[in-house]
Each structure stands twice: as C-alpha cells, then as structure tokens.
C-alpha cells in the first residue's frame, strides 16, 4: 500500500503526471482509454468536472459508466484519486460506488477523495435547473447536475468542501449556503421545487462517504512523484467545452485542458509529462452551441446510429458531424498534445467517402483558426478521403489496416504534427491497435 501521509519531506519530484484528455466536445472515449492505459500506472486521478461526465468502460459482456470515480478503479492494485478540482454530488458518487462494489468488492482501499474538492448541494442542482429553464432557447444544454452553480460557489468563495464534512458545524454551514440558494431561487418565481427527499439521500450519502480517506491530494500526488510512482490524470468533458477556450458560453464550468491538471491536482506545470489527446474519427457534441461540421442529413443520422451516439449520462442523442481539423489543431495547440489516440475508427467502416474540414469560410474569407465566437458563423471547407470499406473491428496490428485508413491517419498526423499512437476499433478494452 502506498503511503498517503508522507510527512515533512521536500518535493523535488523525479517523475511526471501524464494526462489523458478529450480534444473535442467530450465523449471521445476517455474512460476506455484510461482503462486500457491503467496497467502502466499506479495512480489514476480525476482533476476537474463532476457527475456531468459519463465515462464508459467495456470488458467482455460487462459495461460500466463512471461519473466521478476515476476509470482505473477496476484494475488490481490501482489508487484512484478524486482530485481537488472536482465537484462531487455525494448521492451520485455513493450510487456509483455501490454499483462498482457489486462487481469489484470493497473499493475503500482503492479510492481516496480530496479534502479540497467541492460539494454539489441539492440546491445547486435546483439552481442549474432554474437557470436553464429561464434561458429558454438560449439554454446551454447542461446535464443539470449542478456543475455550474457549484463552481460559481467555489470561485465566489462560498462553497462547501469535502473536508468540511468532518467539521462539527457542517450542518450549519450547509443550512447557510442552502438559505442563500433559496434566496437566489426566489428570483425564478415560475420555478417550483422540493428538495426534501434528495436532501435526505444527500445527508445519508455524506455519512457513507466517511468510510473513504479524505486527503490533501497535492501533498500525496507530489510525494508519489518523488517516489517515481506513475500517475495518470483523467480529463472529463473536452477541450472545446473549456470554460476559457471552449465555445463560450456553451461550455462547462471548469478548465478541461491540460492546464487544469495543475490546479486540479496541485502539481506544478513542469510536472506535466505526456499529454495524450484523444479524439473520435469524426465529431459529436451534446447540448447547445456551435458545431461547424454538424450534419443534419442522413449521414449525420448514420454516424449516430452506427456510433451509438447517445449520452452516457443523460441518454440524449448526440449531434454528429465530420472531423474538424481546424478545431482539432486548436485543441492540440492549447493542450501541448504529445501523442494522439483516435477513437471509434470502426464507425466509419462503411462510408464511401470520409470528409474532414480543413478550413472555414467566414464573411467570404477563408480562415484556418478557431475564432473567438466559437465558430458560430463559419462554413467548413472539406477535403474528401476515400472510405476504406473494410471492417476494422477485428484488426489488432497496424500493418493489417487498409491503406485508405492509413492514409487518413497519416493526414491527421501530418496536419497536427503529432503521432497517433493508438487506434481504437470498438468499445471493448481489447479493441485497440498500438501503432
Ligand atoms: P468519454 O466520456 O470520453 O469516456 O466517452 P463516453 O463513454 O461518453 O462515450 C464513448 C462511447 O463510445 C462509449 O459508448 C464507448 O463504449 C464507445 N467507444 C469507445 N471507443 C470506441 C471505439 O473505438 N469504437 C466504438 N464503436 N465505440 C467506442
Ligand atoms: P464526458 O466527460 C459531453 C456538456 C453538456 C452541456 C455543457 C455544459 O463524458 O466527456 P454542464 O453539465 O457541465 O453544465 O454542461 O457541457 N457536457 C458534456 N458533453 N461529455 C461530457 O462529459 C460533458 N459534460 C458536460 O452537454 O452542453
Ligand atoms: Mg462521456
């Protein structure tokens, strides 16, 4: 068992934290990739987001969707950290833990939680719902898990943290924050709510959470680095949903990019190692906001059906479209991506042609950057590739892949300047090709 309380030591770390993150609008397949890569790491850590995430894992006949728990949880001997940058709904977390433990047994020695992580209160969920309802057509399309209001309270310096659970006046702090929220909710006279039942579950879940270790994750993570323990940070959402650089305001409320690892785990920028950027061979988005390559036709519907593009958290149909090289290059640049992983390549198996947006047209001019207004007003300019018309599902070595597919990969590598190291050809953890 690794030490969790390293004591008074210096922090001249030897190793670095590698990062897996999504380069599009989320749902790229981060859960699967983390599960695949976990044997090479001892520690897996979530650094931002919360139960808005839905990370699917598949092994054989079994499937799991994780929301707050890191995707290393099913690997023997792993340590899974819910970092300080995460927002936690105890009800959702404890439900998730119950499901995991039904399969994997007691995980209390494998899961630790940052004392500095923020709590999502039942009233945060109500604020999310009221705010979205009031926005009407301009709604963000939030997962309604209370993410935005919880991060507002964090930056507004009002939030409750996991460490507060152990404080004798926790209930008083809760009531004070809830009272503030109720005041805010009175600004939405049409919005009625009753949180009594959820509140009871919430307090029961808070009580149950106490069987997990609450840690100063910044100290623990830096000590692990010093001991040369391998750490993988697991991003949630995607780069184009980043609060600063995504398609604002149609974004989530955290820094989903590589920079978020530093503040979300407590490591210095110099301690970030590999940045593993993952993307689908096409694009999807769930919720509102700009999506330049979105297809409203039968091709979009085909992508949705073949790719089973329905939200892992909300079940909502995902919007589908072609790969957007302009957006991908932007995400690669902003994250400093060192290697790429291409997901869901098999979904394109039957297409005669595959398209990629190589630039945009805006006001009659051709541009090759991702504009400030989130590409709302642009029209994509496409390059066409010959489809490979071969099933990739059972291929496990790069050499056996069809040439047309290799050409597609080579083009992406050339344009981004980053090698594609893994190609995913199915949901199962075995369905990967290492290049
Ligand atoms: P995440 O949020 O990034 O972890 O991604 P999600 O789990 O929300 O969505 C990815 C979906 O694609 C899940 O249903 C996965 O089981 C599935 N998936 C992952 N990789 C592949 C792949 O290579 N091919 C296919 N067909 N499905 C995949
Ligand atoms: P994973 O980790 C895809 C989207 C929502 C909405 C916007 C804001 O599974 O990739 P929020 O609930 O954060 O207020 O929603 O962000 N969104 C996601 N889309 N995958 C996710 O997570 C997402 N998490 C949030 O649909 O448009
Ligand atoms: Mg998801």
Say if CB 225 and CB 14 are below 8 A apart.
yes
E-only strand ranges, 6-54: 17-22, 43-46
Q: Determine the pLDDT at residue 374.
A: 65
Say if CB 359 and CB 382 are below 8 A apart.
no
d(CA 358, CA 381): 6
- Residue 284 CB–ligand 2 contact under 6 Å: no
- Residue 355 CB–ligand 1 contact under 6 Å: no
- For 283, phi then psi, to 5°, come to -130, 150
Name, in order, each residue with C-beta under 8 angstroms of 104's C-beta and a sequence gap of 6 or more: 73, 74
- Specify which residues 82 forms β-bridges with: 46, 113
CA 332 to chain centre: 16
In the residue annotation, 27 being an active-site residue is answered as yes
CA 278 to chain centre: 11
163, HSE (Cβ side, Cα atoms, 13 Å): 10
d(CA 302, CA 309): 10
d(CA 123, CA 202): 11
- For 396, phi then psi, to 5°, come to -125, -5
What's the whole-number mean pLDDT along residues 283-291? Answer: 96
Which of 18, 35, 55, 153 is an active site residue?
55
d(CA 140, CA 142): 5
Q: Model's pTM, two decimal places?
A: 0.96
In the residue annotation, 346 being an active-site residue is answered as no
Q: Give the ligand with the smallest distance to the CA of 286.
A: 2
What's the whole-number mean pLDDT along residues 320-332? Answer: 98
- Residue 347 CB–ligand 1 contact under 6 Å: yes
Which range is least confidently modeled, 178-192, 366-380, 420-434?
A: 366-380
pLDDT digits (tens, 9 = 90+) for 327-371: 999 999 999 999 999 999 999 999 999 999 999 999 889 998 888
Whether residue 53 has pLDDT greater than 90: yes
């Amino acid at each position: 068992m690794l030490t969790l309380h390293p004591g008074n030591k210096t922090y001249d770390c030897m190793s670095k934290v590698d990062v897996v993150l999504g380069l599009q609008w989320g749902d790229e397949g981060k859960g699967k990739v983390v599960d695949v890569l976990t044997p090479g790491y001892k520690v897996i850590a979530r650094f931002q987001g919360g139960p808005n995430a839905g990370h699917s894992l598949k092994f054989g006949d079994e499937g799991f969707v994780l929301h707050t728990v890191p995707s290393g949880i099913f690997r023997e001997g792993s340590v899974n950290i819910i970092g300080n940058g995460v927002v936690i709904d105890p009800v959702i977390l404890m439900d998730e833990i119950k499901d995991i433990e039904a399969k994997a047994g007691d995980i209390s020695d494998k899961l630790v939680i940052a004392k500095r992580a923020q709590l999502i209160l039942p009233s945060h969920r109500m604020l999310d719902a009221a705010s979205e309802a009031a926005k009407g057509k301009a709604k963000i399309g939030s997962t309604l898990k209370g993410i935005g209001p919880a991060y507002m309270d964090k930056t507004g310096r009002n939030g409750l943290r996991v460490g507060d659970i152990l404080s004798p006046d926790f209930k008083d702090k809760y009531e004070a924050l809830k009272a503030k929220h109720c005041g805010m909710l009175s600004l939405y006279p049409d919005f009625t709510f009753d949180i009594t039942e959820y509140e009871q579950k919430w307090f029961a879940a808070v009580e149950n959470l106490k069987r997990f270790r609450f840690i100063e994750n910044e100290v623990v993570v830096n000590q692990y680095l010093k001991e040369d323990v391998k750490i993988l940070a697991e991003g949630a959402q995607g780069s184009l949903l980043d609060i600063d650089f995504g398609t604002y305001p149609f974004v989530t409320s955290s820094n989903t990019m590589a920079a978020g690892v530093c503040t979300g785990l407590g490591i210095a920028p110099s301690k970030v190692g590999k940045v593993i950027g993952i993307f689908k061979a096409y694009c999807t988005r769930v919720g509102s906001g700009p999506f330049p390559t979105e297809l409203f036709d039968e091709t979009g519907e085909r992508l949705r059906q073949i790719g089973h593009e329905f939200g892992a958290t909300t079940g909502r149909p995902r919007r589908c479209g072609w790969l957007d090289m302009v957006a991908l290059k932007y995400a690669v640049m902003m994250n400093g991506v060192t290697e790429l992983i291409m997901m869901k390549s098999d979904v394109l198996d039957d297409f005669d042609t595959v398209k990629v947006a190589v630039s945009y047209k805006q006001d009659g001019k051709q541009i090759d950057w991702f504009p400030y207004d989130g590409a709302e007003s642009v029209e994509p300019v496409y390059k066409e590739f010959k489809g490979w018309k071969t099933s990739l599902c059972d291929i496990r070595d790069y050499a056996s892949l069809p040439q047309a597919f290799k050409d597609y990969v080579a083009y992406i590598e050339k344009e981004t300047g980053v090698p594609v190291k893994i190609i995913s050809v199915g949901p199962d953890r075995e369905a990967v090709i290492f290049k």
